Amino acid sequence: MPQEINSHSKKAISGNNMVKIGIIICDRYRTCAGGKCFRALKERVGGFSIYKNEEADIVGYTTCGGCPGGNIEYAPEEMKKNGADVIHLATGFLVGYPPCPWIDYFKNFIEENYGLKVVLGTHPIPQKYYNVHTKLGTWNSPKWKEIIRPVLTDEKTRLSYD
């Protein structure tokens, strides 16, 4: 079940405005061109399923800066200046091995310091990562089950994101 529509989404539905999104990716994927994230936004799947009936625009795309996330202190500010309503921490933070140990800190820092909503995940979890993490038990805790819920789609969709 996708996350609830937030105040930024209500603004987009009720007026002519669109939701403006910043994406921060894990630095281990720093050469990623964003293809899966942009495809997921276009298809409104994974972390972007909360924008099913809305227009959306990407206003920033960058890495966290590497562990422990030095760019987290600065990038959201620039994205906010570009009009960001929400920051998505990309699916790579969730599926890399190990998953990002800093993700809770990043989410809390951005929300508290910049007043921006943070969504965990962008594109659906690819099947190959789902298989590995299932075998390893990475996401067995209630906390991780909740974290991956928005990007844990059906097998057909996961396979299409391999």
Contacts of 159 (CB under 8 A, 6+ apart): 127
Per-residue pLDDT at 23:
98
Query: What number is the average pLDDT over the span 83-90?
Result: 98
Residue 5, pLDDT above cutoff 60: no
pTM: 0.89
Residue 51 Cα to chain centre, angstroms? 13
pLDDT band at 140 (very low <50, low <70, confident <90, very high): very high
- Grouping H, G, I as helix, E, B as strand and the rest as coil, residue 4 is coil
What is the spatial distance between Cα 10 and Cα 34, in angstroms, rounded to a whole number? 27
Q: Is the pLDDT of residue 7 over 80?
A: no
Q: Which residue has better confidence, 84 or 12?
A: 84
pLDDT of 87 above 70: yes
Domains and CATH numbers, the chain: 8-160 (3.40.50)
Classified as helix, coil or strand, 19 is strand
Give the residue, 150 or 16, on which the prediction is more confident.
Answer: 150
pLDDT (tens digit per residue) in 45-75: 999 999 998 999 999 999 999 999 999 999 9
44 phi-psi bin (left φ>0, alpha ψ -120 to 50, beta other): left
Q: Contact, 151 vs 124, CB < 8 A?
A: yes
Residue 3 has pLDDT above 70, yes or no: no
Helix or strand holding residue 57 (H, E): strand 56-63
Q: Are 27 and 66 in contact (CB under 8 A)?
A: yes
* pLDDT tens-digit map of 37-53: 999 999 999 999 999 98
